[in-house]
Structure 1
Amino acid sequence: ALRAARDAVAGWMTAAGLAVRTDALGNLYGRLEAAQPGTKTMLLGSHIDSVRDAGRYDGPLGVLTALAAVEGLATARGQLPFAVEVVAFADEEGLRFPTVYLGSRALTGMVSAGLLALRDAGGITLAEAIRDFGGDPAALAAAQRDPAELLGYVEVHIEQGPVLEREGLPIGVVSAIAGQSRFAISLSGVAGHAGTIPMALRHDALCAAAEVILAIEELARATPGLVATVGQLHVEPGASNVVPGQVTFSLDLRHALDTTRHDAIATLEARVSGIAAARGIELDWRLGTENAALSCDSATLSQLARAIMAARFPVRELVSGAGHDAVMLSRLCPAAMLFVRCAGGISHNPAESVTTADVAVALDVLDRYLAELATTSV
């Protein structure tokens, strides 16, 4: 499915008059050259991968909006003082392998040997998967971009939340992206017969996990801006007549301030350790991935805000609780985002929906931003 999506986007890029290529990881680029060689490159885009049972707009909306904007610019090829590339990142969600922003990591040179050795549920390594996708893990260094050659990165994305819809606005500008930490937590007790072990003598890993999960929820509710999610849980041995001996579950923590997130982690570690000790349960707490919070580039935010006002809409700044490829691109160049209203704030769900009118507003704002950039970047 991902290969088919990439092939479809490549065809649309070619039809728009762009020079199309893929890098060693499998990211797709469509390039519109500047009037003069040797100028910087503006990146626009998002990702084309998805999660299970997802909608149609998380990621692809940003790629196609960027493509539409650049297709319009193609008629002004001789007037652009910078090159423009539409990028469709191959993997942002981290669904198959336990790492996020894989596609955009390649541009920063942050795909390590350790990441390439990661295995999916079927035992296939990331390096093998890249080769199967037509990439070359041995040539990833060539995918890295030189910050001196980049003008910036702007990503259009659905909001994935209810704020814009609640306030009656089609578009908003992202001021910051929350930092996040993902953990794998394992609680090991003693499995035993459900009928013969008295309640007072049990070391039930699932009961311990239930108490831990409620403690996580309690802390998140008490900490403004903190969100905490346990989205995966595995119980062993998983029989109706056996006291659970081991439970492993995921924990996803996010906040716009790294200090608040780190304080919450320290508090939770202490609480969870106390719960485990009181129940005679062995605790294993492991950090999987961690990404710092991002404050979007202030100059780019100002330009996007002017474009929104020129389109006759009020400027609404939002903090993104979801991670985005802009986090990685900010390591290379000024990065910012536009959010588009989505129905009910629903995302990662087949019911995910946007209106044509709102997408048209986003395209108009992006066009206005690029027009201003063309007059100020020289």
Structure 2
Amino acid sequence: MSAGRAVAHERAEPAAPVDASAPGVRAGSLAEADLLLDRADVLATHSASPTGIERVYLSPEHARVHEVVGAWMRDAGLRTWQDAAGNLCGRLEGERDGLPALLLGSHLDTVPGAGRYDGILGVLAAVAVAARVAPGTLPFALEVVAFGDEEGTRFGTTLLGSRALAGTWDPAWGALTDRDGVTLADAARAFGLDPARITEAARAPGSLVGYLEAHIEQGPLLEEAGRALGLVTSIAAARRFELTLTGEARHCATPWHRRRDALTGAAEAVLTVERVARARGCPATVGRIEASPGAVNVIPGIATFSLDLRAPSDAERDTTWDVLRAELERVAADRGLVLQVVPTHEAPAVHCAPRLQDALRAGVAATGDPDAPELFSVAGHDTMAVAAVTDVAMLFVRCAGGISHHADESVTRADVAATIDALHAAVLALAERPA
């Protein structure tokens, strides 16, 4: 065990850890959890940054972790390949060759300054489950997928790997560029892929029986409830906008009643977003704001800010936006400003399939927790994209302080053991009643 991980585990150990000896928990699960955590430490060494974890799509680090995880997949008995979009896949045949597959997985790419477990935990847990399954014993094939791009860090568009698998790849994405001006198409060629054939990664709907993803919660609710695992009910509907308030840039000597200050208007607009969205129970975030001309003695004439709005349903998201837009237009009118709204992203809510949720519920019950909490996922996941081709469900895993996308991201070995056990039991539950 590395010194860094030992510190993280001491910090993350909950007051009421999962009892690994509870009825239904598989003997040896803690040893499997230790192996998973050691593997996560190994993957953390494959980084483009000397000061933290950074691993982006179609990079040399992406290629290296495929070599490492591919070997672990083969050790688990899986036949491996890299698909046309750069996702790493492994397959274990069922009672006969060629059956539709139950897909388990998550992603291996990271944001800059990432933690060890966002995405990685789900891939490694899936490999651990596959290692428990004997070939030819399930009424479906079992596949593990490690998606190459969930975060969108390099090319600015998220879920590229899972959208390729789901058949929703847009060939226009080949023209996207990274911060160095390299196009996605050129990066794909350097990685050994043919950008014209990325659409061949798409799976036919009949080739899959479902998709299960284990993922750290990225929030504090499970920790606050003293629970190791939770069931995801849905993934947020989202909309993003770029909003611009235009007033008049003038010298700071301008009297108050003559000012049309775009930045003070934006400040009121941001507080309006907080007030309205908070009252309606919808997460809303202004993550970026810019003012121009940017001189210390000049009243800003233009202020531009981002807005990320999410909700459990499309209807709640859209109703909240309608209320917000009316309020923002009022702010602009009161201050003599002009509001411009440019939509930049829209994603519908994704609801987990009851059949797969029931299997995960049975899986959590097998760890000794008969009443798994249900959670709405504010964060987006590969599950959202895969839902375009098959039924989906997600298992959330407690993470210390709800911290994610940061080096302090951590989990406990007991919770990891419970994750492997629950995911395995869910596979067996589905095998008893296949679709």
Map 1:101-116; keep pairs closer than 5 Å.
101-116=159-174
Q: 1:97 to 1:207 in 2, by over 3 A?
A: farther
> How far, CA to CA, are the matches of 1:128 and 1:337 in structure 2?
34
Residue identity matched to 1:220: A
Asked if the contact 1:109/1:140 (under 8 Å) is kept, the reply is no
Asked if the contact 1:99/1:289 (under 8 Å) is kept, the reply is no
> How far, CA to CA, are the matches of 2:430 and 2:193 in structure 1?
33
User: In the TM superposition, what is the alpha-carbon distance from 1:121 to its structure 2 partner?
Assistant: 4.0
Residue identity matched to 2:396: F
Map 1:1-378; keep pairs closer than 5 Å.
1=47, 2=55, 3=62, 4-73=64-133, 76-194=134-252, 196-224=253-281, 226-313=282-369, 314-377=371-434
CA distances 1:277-331 after superposition (whole Å, capped 9, x unpaired)? 3333333211111111111000111111122212210221111111111111112
Higher mean alpha-carbon deviation, 78-87 vs 167-176, is at 78-87
> How far, CA to CA, are the matches of 2:186 and 2:339 in structure 1?
33
Residue identity matched to 1:291: A
User: In the TM superposition, what is the alpha-carbon distance from 1:122 to its structure 2 partner?
Assistant: 4.0
Q: 1:128 to 1:246 in 2, by over 3 A?
A: farther
Q: 1:150 to 1:266 in 2, by over 3 A?
A: same
Q: Secondary structure at the match of 1:214?
A: helix
Name the counterpart of 2:5: none
Asked if the contact 2:249/2:301 (under 8 Å) is kept, the reply is yes
> How far, CA to CA, are the matches of 1:368 and 1:109 in structure 2?
29
Instruction: List alignment gaps of at least 5 residues for structure 1.
Output: none
Q: Secondary structure at the match of 2:136?
A: helix
Higher mean alpha-carbon deviation, 168-177 vs 273-282, is at 273-282
**Please, what TM-score do these two structures have when normalized by structure 2?**
0.81
> How far, CA to CA, are the matches of 2:365 and 2:276 in structure 1?
39
Higher mean alpha-carbon deviation, 110-119 vs 292-301, is at 110-119
Residue identity matched to 1:239: A
User: In the TM superposition, what is the alpha-carbon distance from 1:149 to its structure 2 partner?
Assistant: 0.8
> How far, CA to CA, are the matches of 1:337 and 1:136 in structure 2?
32
CA distances 1:38-84 after superposition (whole Å, capped 9, x unpaired)? 211111001112223222111111011101111222xx113233221
> How far, CA to CA, are the matches of 2:318 and 2:155 in structure 1?
25
Q: 1:205 to 1:127 in 2, by over 3 A?
A: farther
Residue identity matched to 2:114: A
CA distances 1:329-362 after superposition (whole Å, capped 9, x unpaired)? 1121110010111111122222211101101001
Asked if the contact 2:108/2:147 (under 8 Å) is kept, the reply is yes
Asked if the contact 2:366/2:421 (under 8 Å) is kept, the reply is no
Q: 1:247 to 1:7 in 2, by over 3 A?
A: farther
Higher mean alpha-carbon deviation, 345-354 vs 242-251, is at 242-251
Q: 1:116 to 1:249 in 2, by over 3 A?
A: farther
> How far, CA to CA, are the matches of 2:174 and 2:392 in structure 1?
27
User: In the TM superposition, what is the alpha-carbon distance from 1:245 to its structure 2 partner?
Assistant: 2.9
**Please, what TM-score do these two structures have when normalized by structure 1?**
0.93
Residue identity matched to 1:296: C
Residue identity matched to 1:285: V
Residue identity matched to 2:340: D
CA RMSD of aligned residues (A): 1.9
> How far, CA to CA, are the matches of 1:318 and 1:237 in structure 2?
44
Q: 1:227 to 1:50 in 2, by over 3 A?
A: same
> How far, CA to CA, are the matches of 2:296 and 2:132 in structure 1?
61
> How far, CA to CA, are the matches of 1:200 and 1:131 in structure 2?
59
Q: Secondary structure at the match of 1:369?
A: helix
> How far, CA to CA, are the matches of 1:266 and 1:203 in structure 2?
25
Q: 1:372 to 1:268 in 2, by over 3 A?
A: same
CA distances 1:108-148 after superposition (whole Å, capped 9, x unpaired)? 22222443333444444333343344433211221111010
Higher mean alpha-carbon deviation, 364-373 vs 92-101, is at 92-101
> How far, CA to CA, are the matches of 2:79 and 2:139 in structure 1?
18
> How far, CA to CA, are the matches of 2:78 and 2:247 in structure 1?
59
- Between the two proteins, the alignment pairs up a number of residues equal to 374
Residue identity matched to 1:48: L
Q: 1:94 to 1:280 in 2, by over 3 A?
A: farther
> How far, CA to CA, are the matches of 2:211 and 2:182 in structure 1?
33
Asked if the contact 1:152/1:335 (under 8 Å) is kept, the reply is yes
